[in-house]
Amino acid sequence: MQVIERLAPLGHNCRPGINRRGFRGVTIHNTSNWSNGANALAHANLLRNGWKDVYTSWNYVVDKDYAVRCVPENEVAWCQGDGNGDGNMTTISIEICDNADGDIRKATDNAVELCADILRRNGITNVNGHLFQHNYWTGKDCPYDIRRGNPYDWGTFCNKVQQALNGGGEVVDQIIHAGSKVKFNGVFRIDDLILPCVKYPNGAVGCYATCYGKPIGVDDWLPSGPLSTCNADGSNANPNGILDTGGYWKCDKVFNVISTELPTRYTPNGVATLEADGVRFRVDCGPLLEV
Ligand SMILES: [Zn+2]
């Protein structure tokens, strides 16, 4: 994420130049501006033009690409809706863009990163008591998306900021998305085989429908390369074993999630495309464990 500065004009209502009164933390908002093009730079431009004399502003507005600083961190922005209260006077505000042509997950992840950076620079090592929803100050239904779990809920947001403060790394939340790392969680029966394999360079195992639920689709197959044969209870795993219909497999390999196709919050209904060693294939999210 790139942090850039497009400051609102000093001396106008949106940026009166009042010094912040101490630091309690960061307040999080969603713009709730779903129009195409309503990204961070568009909001920054709003404060420089049409809204410069409106008593509405923010320190930062973040989208999938940028964090744009509109009001310096040491100055008050009118974002929390509590007038001269602690929300406006002692917290730094971040607006997360939810424009339809943006990427709410990347934008929210960028806000996590920015949040952690602000807290760190203010000597905060534990998020407890230092992260606020706009809702906390006035009861407004904001951040609208996060309050609905889009792309994840408030608890997850706070955990991610804490994780970033702790030194980075993605929080494992079992919500599978592009970029997640996953393993197959369990032992699965081999229902069918394609041999010789024409679809994948290292062999294929047929739809594992009866193992746990619905098949992905009639044309979907798992590559057999990373799979080990094993007993029904997972014992005697053999990476060089010969797969056979009616036998069992398990797999300890970690796969990268390339993409997802259905709302994977509601696993096992989601479908993910996985990749390892250059082989891609589609699977249900149900048997996947995010690691
Ligand atoms: Zn808000």
pLDDT at residue number 228:
85
3-state secondary structure of 247: coil
For residue 163, the surrounding DSSP H or E stretch is helix 154-165
pLDDT at res. 140: 97
pLDDT at 219: 55
Phi, psi of 93 (to 5 degrees): -100, 140
Tell me if 178 sits within 8 A of 290, measured CB to CB. Answer: no
- For residue 121, report the distance from its CA to the centre of ligand 1, in Å: 23
Ligand 1 centroid, distance to 28 Cα (angstroms):
7
Distance 263 CA to ligand 1 centre (A): 26
Please give the DSSP secondary-structure letter assigned to residue 53: T
Distances (CA, A) of 27 to 66, 89, 108, 115, 118: 18, 11, 13, 9, 11
State the distance from the centre of ligand 1 to the C-alpha of 86, rounded, in angstroms. 15
For 261, which DSSP code?
-
Question: Separation of 202 CA from ligand 1 center, angstroms?
Answer: 52
Measured in Å, residue 139 CA sits from the centre of ligand 1 at 10
Quote the tokens at residue 277: 């060693």
Q: How far is the CA of 57 from the centre of ligand 1 (A)?
A: 10
Separation of CA 102 and ligand 1 centre (Å): 18
Rounded CA-CA distance 273/127 in Å is 34
CA of 16 to the centre of ligand 1 (A): 19
Domain layout of the chain by residue ranges: 2-165, 181-290
The whole-model pTM stands at 0.61
124 CA to centre of ligand 1 in angstroms:
23
How far is the centre of ligand 1, averaged over its atoms, from the C-alpha of 154 (Å)?
14
Which two structure tokens, joined as six digits, stand for 137? 């100050």
Ligand 1 geometric centre to CA of 21 (Å): 20
* C-alpha of residue 141 to centroid of ligand 1, in Å: 8
Residue 185 one-letter amino acid: N
The span from the first CA to the last CA of the chain, in angstroms, equals: 24
Q: How far is the CA of 83 from the centre of ligand 1 (A)?
A: 13
Give residue 163 CA to ligand 1 midpoint distance, Å: 24
Tokens, residue 20: 């912040």
Write b or e for each residue in 28-56: b if 16 or more Cβ atoms lie within 10 A of its Cβ, otherwise e.
bbbbbbeeeebbbbbbbebbbeebbeeee
- Per DSSP, the three-state class of 102 is coil
Superfamily of domain 2-165: Peptidoglycan recognition protein-like (3.40.80.10)
Residue reference for tokens 């497999």:
249
Instruction: Please report, in tens digits, the pLDDT of each residue of the chain (291 residues total).
Output: 889 999 999 999 999 999 999 999 999 999 999 999 999 999 999 999 999 999 999 999 999 999 999 999 999 999 999 999 999 999 999 999 999 999 999 999 999 999 999 999 999 999 999 999 999 999 999 999 999 999 999 999 999 999 999 876 555 666 777 788 888 878 888 777 766 444 454 566 654 433 333 434 445 677 777 888 899 898 999 888 887 788 888 888 889 988 887 654 444 457 778 787 777 887 777 777 887
Which stretches within 233-282 are classed as H helix? none
Nearest CA to 186 among 138, 140, 237? Answer: 237
Model pLDDT, residue 179: 80
Distance of CA 62 from the midpoint of ligand 1 (Å) = 13
Q: How far is the centre of ligand 1, averaged over its atoms, from the C-alpha of 167 (Å)? A: 28
Determine whether 12 is exposed, middle or buried from the number of CB atoms within 10 Å of its CB (0-12, 13-18, 19+): middle
How many CB atoms are closer than 10 A to CB 181? 17
**10 CA → ligand 1 middle, Å:** 22
Q: CA–CA separation, 119 vs 52, rounded Å? A: 28
* Residue 204: other Cβ atoms inside 10 A: 24
Give the distance (Å) from ligand 1 centre to CA of residue 96.
Answer: 9
